[in-house]
Structures are given as C-alpha cells and as structure tokens.
Amino acid sequence: MDSRVLDSALKALSRYPLCDRCLGRLFARLGRGWSNRERGEAVKRVLVMELHRMALEGEEGALEKLVSIAPNVGEVARGVVESLSPGSYREGGPCAVCGGLLENAIASAVEEGYRLLKAYDVERFVVGVRLGGDVARAEEEVKRVAGAGYGESIKAEIRREVGKLLLGRGGVKVDFDNPEATLLVEFPGGGVEIQVNSLLYRGRYWKLGRNISQAYWPTPEGPRYFSVEQALWPMLKLTGGERLVVHAAGREDVDARMLGSGRPMIVEVKSPRRRRIPLEKLEEAANKGGRGVVRFRFESAARRAEVALYKEEAARVRKVYRALVAVEGGLGVGDVDRLRRALEGAVIMQRTPSRVLHRRPDILRRRRLYSLDCSPLEEGVLMECVIEAEGGLYIKELVSGDRGRTRPSFAEVLGREALCIELDVVWVEHEAPGAPG
C-alpha cells in the first residue's frame, strides 16, 4: 500500500490478530494526544476502507485479502465483508500480543493499585511492570513483521496508562525522583504488588547511661541490654512500620556512654503504613522510649543515598573520647607529660583487639591519635583523659596495650599496667549531608 502506516498495519494483521491497543502501539509516536486504542481503531477503519475501495474497483485479490485478514482485524471489518461476500466473516483468535487482556488488566491494576496506595498512605509513586509469559517475544515478533519503527513497548504503555488513571483518582502523583512506593503490575498474570520505600530520618542519639547497645540484641532470656534501637520502637507504633534499623556513623562500646555532640544516625522504618507523622511527634515518642537513658534529636527526612554516606564516613571521622584510666601503682611525677609527648600525633598500630577477635578478622590497623590531655584525679590514683583520634581506634586497647597487640599504648609508655575503667564518646565529627530537596 502507498501509505506506510497502512502498509505496516496490513503486514502485521496479515499474520496476527491484534486488538486496537496492540495495533495502535506500533504507531505510538505518530499523532499527539491520542491513546493507542484510538490509533489502532483509526488505522483499522482506514485499512478496511482502503481494501473496500480496492475491491469495489475490482483490483485483483483485494476482496480475498479483505476476507482473509478480517478475523485478525475483528468486529470493525464485519459489515464490509458481509456486504461484499455474505456469510464469509469469521471470528478471529485473541490478540497475539496481549491475549485480549490488556484493557481489563489496566483497569484492574488501577483499582488494586489505588487501594494499595491508600492502605500504605502513599502520595508519590511510580509504576513498574513485570511481563510474564511470551508477551515480550510476541511483541518483538509483531514489530519485526510490521517494520513500522514508531512504536513503544507494552511495558511503557501499561506504566503510563496505569499512572495516568491513578492520577485521575486524585490525592496521588507520579514522582520518579523521590517516590514513596513502586506499584508493580504483573502482566498478563494480573495482580499488583506494592513495594513501599522506607521512611528515613536523620538525627542524633545520646547514651546517658552505660550497658546500652546500639542494635537490639535478643537472647532467649530477653534482650541482653537495653538498646538504642529498642528505645526507638514507639516509632513503629506511630508509623505502622514492620521493622526498624539504626544506621549510625559508627558505634561505641556497650559500656561507653555517648555524650556531647551525640552520634549522627539515620533511622529507617521499613514498610510503614503511615508516612506523614510530624518529626516532633516521632522525636517525642522516641525520647519516651529512651527511658531517660537514651535521648534523640530528629533533624529532617533523609534520602536512601545518605545511608551509605553515613557508613563510609563512620570509618574515619574524628572522635573525641573521655576515658577514666587507672594506672598500676598510681601516677608518678611526669607520667602525664610522658604520655602526651609519646602519643600525641602518633600513629597507633593496632591488631584487632583480643576481646572482639571471635567476631572480627585479625587485621592490623593504623590510626592517628591527634591529641591527648590527661589530668590526675583523686590523689593520682586515676586520671581523666580527653583523647581526640581518628575513627576506628580502639581506646580501651590504646590504654592497656592488649598484651602488645596495640603499640604504642599507655601501658607501654608508662612501663606499668593501665586500664580504661570508664569510656565516653563526647564528640563525633560529622559533615551533614545536603538537605533533601
């Protein structure tokens, strides 16, 4: 045929039955403001008109062609075929690409999708499509036969149509940059799955008491320690979330307090059902959960990409510690100066502490000690040290030497045993990632 659009349509329909949508999709990029169903409908009508004209003008084979493709064209060809050759119209099979299911699949995906968006309090979403069966292969085959070159994929059509119809329901919108959930439409199987993105909040925590772990630590007899994570559990109640994870910039020992600056963290609430709880309300609930020994400050919502930043950053950022140190036989004259001269600015060579060897690989790490300021307490039996060091330096071992596994150490410099009997983190360096847009 002279028209390339009609020629492509004729080629495709000569081989395959196609519904209006699946035919129209071959020409999706031609014409503006129309649905593929409208395109397919229009092309079918003009094609039938053209074959009708050719048959009326007695062109050879035109009537036979019309009769033979009529089952693949469908209902719209019936009238002309029956008028030219009564009794010869036959019903065709279902659409070769979608099996005739597409129209209903889109409608029911919209129903189910809307229900899910509401159930999970989602306002910003994207639609994804999982194609099953032979749909993708059948689509490629029809495209190849038609050779049209102006089409789009069935995935793109389902994504767009479902998104557009959901938008029409109101109160929800498509957001590719920062969606709250993905609706995954199964085709042709049917069914919609919702993948709800976690709620992420940037903030800080303080541990005002000792023997508090960062992560929940269950044992058959109940939690081993009260934890920062447990203190946050009231957030699950407020948000209807399933699980909660604390992504902190590093962690202190269970028996160390976290004071001063607090430790930067991102709290992740998985599978929430309520997303629009004010930050102050969450903070209040968390602080109540902290029982006066764990405190929180929530700063803002965070993005997924920031979680990784916290982890990378944690390894090396500066920390300031306050350590209470006991020295065998008490402190002598000049001990404090000796420690400072030997250790300030030094690179500490530290093998994995023996106390954590059962769960960490035995490696040698080098960490710089930036400053050391010790003052004797209680007639020189104890001293209080303020230590600023590169993140990842184990302070208890810096003091004790861990039987030579950490060098140099307080014990090595003083030539006597030394023990860290109390440890607090008082400052954690933190470059706040950019505020979310």
The DSSP symbol for 240 reads T
Cis before 408 (ω within 30) = yes
Listed ranges 95-103, 178-186, 324-332, 367-375: which one lies at the site for Zn ion (CB under 5 A): 95-103
User: Residue 114, annotated ligand binder?
Assistant: no
Nearer to Zn ion, 26 or 294 (CB): 26
The least CB distance from residue 61 to Zn ion, in Å, is 28
Cα separation of 281 and 273, whole Å? 16
Nearby residues of 320 by Cβ (< 8 Å), 6 or more positions away: 260, 386, 387, 388, 425, 426, 427
Nearer to Zn ion, 37 or 247 (CB): 37
The least CB distance from residue 138 to Zn ion, in Å, is 9
User: In the window 22-81, what residues touch Zn ion (CB under 5 A)?
Assistant: 22
Phi, psi of 160 (to 5 degrees): -70, -45
User: In the window 102-161, what residues touch Zn ion (CB under 5 A)?
Assistant: 102
Helix (H) or strand (E) holding 264: strand 257-270
Listed ranges 44-52, 101-109, 110-118, 267-275: which one lies at the site for Zn ion (CB under 5 A): 101-109
Nearer to Zn ion, 18 or 323 (CB): 18
The least CB distance from residue 88 to Zn ion, in Å, is 25
Q: What DSSP string runs through 286-304? A: HHHHTTTTEEEEEEEE--H
Write down the residue that tokens 């994504």 correspond to: 159
Listed ranges 15-23, 206-214, 249-257, 308-316: which one lies at the site for Zn ion (CB under 5 A): 15-23
* SS3 state of residue 128: strand
User: Residue 321, annotated ligand binder?
Assistant: yes
Of 10, 28, 69, 95, which lies in the binding site for Zn ion, with binding defined by CB under 5 A?
95
* Total residues binding Zn ion (CB under 5 A): 6
Listed ranges 92-100, 144-152, 335-343, 422-430: which one lies at the site for Zn ion (CB under 5 A): 92-100
Both tokens assigned to 240: 């209807």
The DSSP symbol for 198 reads P
The least CB distance from residue 3 to Zn ion, in Å, is 22
Cα separation of 296 and 262, whole Å? 8
Nearby residues of 378 by Cβ (< 8 Å), 6 or more positions away: none
CA atoms within 13 A on the CB side of 208: 9
The DSSP symbol for 25 reads G
Nearer to Zn ion, 21 or 204 (CB): 21
Nearer to Zn ion, 188 or 380 (CB): 188
Both tokens assigned to 20: 């209006």
* SS3 state of residue 87: coil
The DSSP symbol for 364 reads E
* Residue from 7, 20, 175, 253 carrying the catalytic annotation: 253
Listed ranges 12-20, 177-185, 280-288, 326-334: which one lies at the site for Zn ion (CB under 5 A): 12-20
Both tokens assigned to 413: 């410099």
Of 98, 148, 343, 389, which lies in the binding site for Zn ion, with binding defined by CB under 5 A?
98
Nearer to Zn ion, 116 or 165 (CB): 165
Of 9, 12, 13, 19, which lies in the binding site for Zn ion, with binding defined by CB under 5 A?
19
Residue 404 CB neighbour total at 10 angstroms: 10
CA distances from 44 to 13, 66, 87, 114 (A): 9, 12, 21, 33
Nearer to Zn ion, 151 or 179 (CB): 151
The least CB distance from residue 9 to Zn ion, in Å, is 14
The least CB distance from residue 108 to Zn ion, in Å, is 16
Cα separation of 236 and 354, whole Å? 37
Is the separation of the CB atoms in 36 and 102 below 8 Å?
no
The least CB distance from residue 82 to Zn ion, in Å, is 24
Is the separation of the CB atoms in 400 and 266 below 8 Å?
no
Residue 253 designated active-site: yes
**Distance, CA of 123 to chain centre:** 17
Q: Which residues are catalytic?
A: 253
Binding site members for substrate: 321, 394
**Which residues contact Zn ion by CB under 5 A?**
19, 22, 95, 97-98, 102
Residues making up the annotated binding site are: 321, 394
